[in-house]
């Protein structure tokens, strides 16, 4: 088990440290090596994805990632933005499918802003395409129009093969769940989406045991708030997936609870919490480390086929929630307030109790 550890910036370093404590318990033989990325990469080597970091990622079986980003990035040129390091890494390793489960822990039902009956039992996965769309499409840039006004532009672009591979990833995922895929696009307005829908519809019959439906992204956003439990697997493009997955995150109460896995053609994956580097709370020992710890559980399951160890970690997280441990983002009246490190220690303790 060779794991490249990339804590990144801000709370990334704090939450990854907790996930590593958990790793030491459930997979003490795992080899880990750390490398800087994002602002940490810029500080160490002058670029957001330094060559030694990419090299380490290529050699590793899996990557445990924190988050990248600093406050006030508006004036930083794109090639020197911390987030560019992550985009480059996803592209270099062809990690094209991002799995973002949104699961309602029964213990946290009061932390959601939605009514309990709307979110009770919520269990969905958003499969977001990661290598295409307006995030990578060319041409992009700024120009000046005939009126002398500046214009910014991007290209939303998808090829058939890009859509097909992520659609297949979503159908396969649905086969391990409730066998429903909802493909989300904006085919009534955008050509890239029209092609998306055609390809997903063409791939669908290869999975006759999976029910396929389609929604426009505006309707999907509404349905996610209104009746989120109707969804099993949602598959969508990079841009729509970015937005919908954060909305789905909030259904469950806090972005600090949600893990993700980015996978490509083999079992090598990049595992990271859905949240960013949260400069507003960085360095204060108040970030919720559970999303990072649950990302580790996804790694054990997906990259190393260690289903038992993955379940142990998930059960330990359930146990600490049931015991009333809460970081500030999921705090509820009468619960036990803890910081990042103490939450990590509580999960470790719960794992030790399982073994006893």
Question: Which residue in 7, 36, 48, 69 binds ligand NAD (CB under 6 A)?
Answer: 69
Number of residues that bind ligand NAD (CB under 6 A): 23
Nearer to ligand NAD by Cβ, of 84 and 193: the residue is 84
d(CA 263, CA 95): 5
Instruction: Report residue 46 CA to chain centroid gap.
Output: 26
Among 166, 182, 287, 348, binds ligand NAD (CB under 6 A): 287
Query: Which residues in 30-61 are b (16+ Cβ under 10 Å) and which e?
Result: beeebbbbbbbbbeebebbbbeebbebbeebb
Query: CB 331 → ligand NAD: shortest distance, Å?
Result: 10
What is the nearest approach in angstroms of ligand NAD to the Cβ of residue 287? Answer: 4
Name the active-site residue from 96, 135, 207, 325.
135
Stretch that binds ligand NAD, among 24-32, 117-125, 133-141, 286-294 (CB under 6 A): 286-294
Q: Rounded to the nearest 5 degrees, what angle is found at the Cα of 9, between the Cα atoms of 349 and 137?
A: 120
Contact between 14 and ligand NAD by CB under 6 A: the answer reads no
DSSP-derived secondary structure letter, 263 = E
For ligand NAD, the closer CB: 121 or 283: 283
Question: Which window, 50-58, 66-74, 193-201, 299-307, contacts ligand NAD (CB under 6 A)?
Answer: 66-74
> How many Cβ atoms sit within 10 Å of the Cβ of residue 92?
12
The smaller minimum CB distance to ligand NAD, of residues 77 and 208, is found at: 77
CB-CB neighbours of 136 under 10 Å: 17
Q: Spell 308-337 as b/e; 16+ CB within 10 A means b.
A: ebbebbbebbebbbeeebbbbbbeeeebee
Minimum separation from the CB atom of position 93 to ligand NAD (A): 15
**Backbone Cα Rg of the chain:** 20
Using CB under 6 A, which residues numbered 225 to 264 contact ligand NAD?
255-256
The CB density around residue 160, as the number of other CB atoms within 10 Å, is: 13
Which residues form the interface with ligand NAD (CB under 6 A)?
Answer: 11, 15, 67-70, 73, 83, 86, 255-256, 272, 275-281, 287-288, 291, 329
Catalytic residues: 135, 186, 218, 242, 246
């Amino acid at each position: 088990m060779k794991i490249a550890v990339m804590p990144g910036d801000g709370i990334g370093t704090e939450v990854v440290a907790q996930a590593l404590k958990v790793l030491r318990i459930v997979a003490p033989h795992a080899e880990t090596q750390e490398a800087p990325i994002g602002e940490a990469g810029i500080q160490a080597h002058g670029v957001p994805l330094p060559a030694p970091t990419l090299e380490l990622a290529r050699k590793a079986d899996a990557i445990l990632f924190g988050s990248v980003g600093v406050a006030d990035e508006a004036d930083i040129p794109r090639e020197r933005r911390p987030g560019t390091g992550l985009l480059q890494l996803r592209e270099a390793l062809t990690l094209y499918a991002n799995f973002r489960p949104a699961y309602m822990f029964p213990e946290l039902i009061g932390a959601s802003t939605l009514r309990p009956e709307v979110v009770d039992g919520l269990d969905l996965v958003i499969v977001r395409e990661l290598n295409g769309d307006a995030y990578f499409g060319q041409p992009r840039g700024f120009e000046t129009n005939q009126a002398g006004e500046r214009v910014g532009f991007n290209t939303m672009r998808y090829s058939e093969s890009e859509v097909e591979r992520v659609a297949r990833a979503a159908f396969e995922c649905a086969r391990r769940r409730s066998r429903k895929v909802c493909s989300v696009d904006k085919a009534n307005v955008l050509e890239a989406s029209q092609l998306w829908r055609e390809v997903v519809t063409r791939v669908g019959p290869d999975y006759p045991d999976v029910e396929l439906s389609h929604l426009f992204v505006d309707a999907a956003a509404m349905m996610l708030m209104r009746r989120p439990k109707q969804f099993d697997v949602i598959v969508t493009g990079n841009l729509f997936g970015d937005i919908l997955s954060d909305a789905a995150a909030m259904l469950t109460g806090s972005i600090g609870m949600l893990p993700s896995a980015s996978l490509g053609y083999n079992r090598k994956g990049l595992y990271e919490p859905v949240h960013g580097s949260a400069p507003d709370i960085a360095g204060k020992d108040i970030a919720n480390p559970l999303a990072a710890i649950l990302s580790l559980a996804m790694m054990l399951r997906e990259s190393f086929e260690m289903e038992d160890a993955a379940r142990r970690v998930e059960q330990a997280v359930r146990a600490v929630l049931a015991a009333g441990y809460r970081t500030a983002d999921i705090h509820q009246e009468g619960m036990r307030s803890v910081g990042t490190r103490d939450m990590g220690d509580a999960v470790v303790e719960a794992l030790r109790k399982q073994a006893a």
